[in-house]
Structure 1
Amino acid sequence: MRTIRTFAATAGAMLLLYAGTTLAQGIKMPAPSPTQTIKQDFALSNIELNYSRPLKNGRVIMGDLVPYGKVWRTGANSATTITFGDDVNFGGVAVKAGKYGLLSIPGAQSWTIILTSSLDVTSPAAYKQENDIARVQVKPVASPFAQESFTIEFENVRSNSVVLALSWDKTKVPVVIKADIDDKITAQINDAMQSADKKPYFQAAVYYYENGKDLTKAVEWINEAAAQSPEAFWVWYQKARINAKAKNTAVAKEAAQKSIELATTAKNDDYVTLNKKLLATLK
């Protein structure tokens, strides 16, 4: 009888243990350092970043949790990676399009930011300097407030430059990334002007205007664009801007007035305001 009771108790305990294990296996918990993937349009393609975001949680970060003078995976858990769709200049170093590991060596006065061909470096022991693609020195900037989560983001995004900013606690580390795309765009414009049935006059004119290129060409092309799209108030606004820069004041005023008329009919107050501001600068 005692044997039967012992067996029953043991079986019951095993059943509870099994049930508990089954339930535990079914629980999904949030990651303590969640991953983030960012894809930023840049130049003629994009930059993609993948990293994990540890929390401060009341700890001392720089010089302690993130020690100075040692290779850091620049995040938590798995390796941090960055992919460039175009050839870029990374902090002053030419880098080919491709996927790289993003590492850093923090310091109180200067950080070393590293792009490596190794995509799996998660500890100083796994780092091999011979695999470096780029190695740049960056001065950290003090932040006015504490950043709880480690953050990497893209700031000051322009057509050919962007800042990759690493931030945690009260420290920010900015790395300037540039792309030389002017030759590619100019070549596309030249090809299109020679072969396209409907030539990209508007895009070409605005690009030349915004990038300080041949204003005579920009004026010629924006005039053609306005002829192609006579009801497009945004085209007339750009015609006014380009001619204003070319010192063709009378033409610029006429174009701005035309843009106001068309924008008013289209009930687009934004362009009405833009043109009025432009007219106020024309003497």
Structure 2
Amino acid sequence: MKNAMNRTLLMVVAMLFAATSAFAQIETPRPSPSAKFTQTVGLTDVTLDYSRPGIKGRTIFGDLVPYGKIWRTGANAATKISFSKDVTLEGNKVPAGDYALYTIPGETEWTVMIYKDLGLGGNVARYDEKNELVRFKVSTKELPWPMETFTIGVGNISDKSATIDILWEKTYAAVKMEVDTDTQVMASIEQFSKNPMGSVGGQFAQAANYYYLNDKDLNKALKWMTKAIEINPNAFWNIQRKAEIQAKMKDYKAAIATAKKSLEVAKAAQNDFGYIASNEKLIEAWKTKL
């Protein structure tokens, strides 16, 4: 009986020790912390998932990262890049999907490869050109200051393009990316215009704004904005945009009348968000066009 009790006691102590050990595991920072982010360009999401080593007093390019050899473009596994819609990289078409990003650094020029096999990871010794989707070259620039932590970002963003920026040590390489936002927007507007939800004034205003800002059919823009105002007559911002559409059509008399209506509605609102002043400026400017 005594032996049985001793065995039970030993088992309980062992279990407690194991549980304590599990909770007492040491955690330290990763040498190359991971990063993941998504940036929208136009209507396309670009997602980057990569690890970020530091310089840590080392010489990077030409030493730690040799020139002329395939690099996983980061630390640990290869950098992963994803596109929610088709894009163009430096003139090369890349379908929507998930890819690995490999590079071959050079002193003044890098080769960039979009790779279809995500399973390769950092094992560049098994790199197979047959799995490349596209390969192209980009020039590099020297940074005016050292970038301690390896960084990939998306910059110079517009509705139609951006750059995928790679920075480390004193080297900067940028890949130009283009997205076909206009085709995507026009398709959605076309679908909406064929079977519009009559109560959704914001949709009419959104379509009108896109046509106005992108120099498309102003007659359609005017028609849609007029409909948006019928649905929400207190939206003085839409009334002002209608005036701007009319002015762009060089109908300054109508534009002034519409801007005065926007001014009237804005004055009646609790907060005009600066539209009173902007309407007054537009009216004075358009008077000189009569």
Same fold per TM (> 0.5)? yes
Deviation per residue, 1:41-92 (Å, 9 max, x gap): 2333411110001111222222222221111111111111011110111121
After superposing the two structures, state which structure 1 stretch, 102-111 or 239-248, moved more. Answer: 239-248
Partner of 1:133: 133
Structure 1 runs of 4+ off > 4 angstroms? Answer: 22-25, 276-281
Partner of 1:12: none
Q: Is the 8 A contact 1:237 1:255 kept in 2?
A: yes
Q: Is the 8 A contact 1:162 1:176 kept in 2?
A: yes
Distance 1:237 1:148, change over 3 A: farther
Partner of 1:220: 223
Q: CA deviation at 1:235?
A: 0.8
Q: CA deviation at 1:259?
A: 3.0
Distance 1:224 1:140 in 2: 51
The 5-angstrom pairing of residues 264-275 of structure 1 reads 264=267, 265-275=269-279
Distance 1:191 1:116, change over 3 A: same
| TM-score, length basis structure 2 | 0.82
- One-letter code of the match for 2:169? D
Distance 1:83 1:273, change over 3 A: farther
Aligned identity (percent) is 39
Distance 2:242 2:63 in 1: 58
The 5-angstrom pairing of residues 145-160 of structure 1 reads 145-160=145-160
Distance 1:266 1:181, change over 3 A: same
Q: CA deviation at 1:250?
A: 2.5
| TM-score, length basis structure 1 | 0.84
Partner of 1:3: none
Deviation per residue, 1:109-141 (Å, 9 max, x gap): 211111000213314313211111111211112
The 5-angstrom pairing of residues 24-43 of structure 1 reads 26-43=25-42
Q: Is the 8 A contact 2:108 2:141 kept in 1?
A: no
Q: 1:249 aligns with which of 248, 252, 258?
A: 252
Partner of 1:84: 83
Task: Find out whether 1:166 has 2:169 as its counterpart.
Answer: no
Distance 1:273 1:102, change over 3 A: farther
- One-letter code of the match for 1:268? D
Distance 1:125 1:277 in 2: 65
Distance 2:63 2:247 in 1: 57
Partner of 1:117: 116
After superposing the two structures, state which structure 1 stretch, 96-105 or 143-152, moved more. Answer: 143-152
Report SS of the residue matched to 2:108: coil
Gaps in structure 2 of 5+ consecutive residues: 1-16
Report SS of the residue matched to 1:202: helix
Deviation per residue, 1:164-223 (Å, 9 max, x gap): 111112221111111213233223222221212316321111111122211222122222
After superposing the two structures, state which structure 1 stretch, 227-236 or 32-41, moved more. Answer: 227-236
Q: CA deviation at 1:281?
A: 4.6
Q: Is the 8 A contact 2:44 2:179 kept in 1?
A: no
RMSD: 2.5
The count of corresponding residues between Structure 1 and Structure 2 is 265
Distance 1:280 1:66 in 2: 62
Report SS of the residue matched to 2:135: strand
Distance 1:183 1:111, change over 3 A: same
Report SS of the residue matched to 1:139: strand
- One-letter code of the match for 2:261? K
